[in-house]
Amino acid sequence: MPGITATIITKNEERRIAEAITSLACCDEVVVVDCGSTDRTREIAAKYGARVIRHEWEGYSKQKNFAAAQARHDWILSIDADERVSAELAGEIAGWKRRDPPAGAAMSMPRRAYYLGRWIHHSGWYPDRKIRLYDRRFARWTGDFVHEAMEVDGKAGRFDGDLLHFPYPAWQDHVERVDRYTRLAADAARKAGRRANPLRLLGGPPLFFLKTLIVQAGILDGWRGVAIAYMGARYVFLREFRILR
């Protein structure tokens, strides 16, 4: 039976860290890597049984790889402070642990977001399948800024239970996140040598809006689907505009 270490990277997550940790009963250890919280994040995490490590911020991928390197077990379940393991997913993970040996180098799971008071079923936000359970000997986080991704040397299996995501407590949080992430994305694009493209600036936002609302059935999510489509289009516009500047 393989042991699993859950890892969470944090900064100022005192409002959400307790629920994230308590959803991880299917794991054998929880490691929280904090990069300088000024609130009670580290104190609360320790109270709920996590092993807390302070580590200066290195970027999303490097921070998550550092967290995995501190684990006592090779199998890592990586979640963010705004995510929760559902009861269904926890049951699947517990059953997976009983296999001998477990198949593959990683496991993916669908992620379901709770947005402005309701679960989102479409809009390109679901099933939003993510690889979060992985063997650190055969998988690692790659990428810079906000576009980290899991690179796996081997096969990845699939869970059906949802990883629950609570990304934006309020509309303003979504606005601020888009503003921050587009600045980071534009900086990354410029450093990679990508030049601004006026066609992407003018055509990208409406195409993204229509894709989200129609192709990805965002209209079935009601006004929240329209809001998601709008914010996605806003992201594309601001990213390309900031590259242009």
Q: What is residue 143's predicted lDDT score, i.e. its pLDDT?
A: 85
**Mean pLDDT computed over 4-9:** 98
Tell me, what's the pLDDT at 146?
A: 67
Structure tokens at 188: 């990354």
Q: Which tokens belong to 50?
A: 């996590």
User: In percent, how much of the chain has pLDDT > 90?
Assistant: 85
The CATH fold of domain 4-165: Spore Coat Polysaccharide Biosynthesis Protein SpsA; Chain A (3.90.550)
Torsion from C-alpha of 116, 122, 124, 130, nearest 10 degrees: 90
Domain regions of the chain by residue span: 4-165, 171-244
Beta strands in 143-222 (DSSP E): 149-152, 156-158, 163-165
Model confidence, pTM: 0.92
Q: What is the pLDDT of residue 197?
A: 83
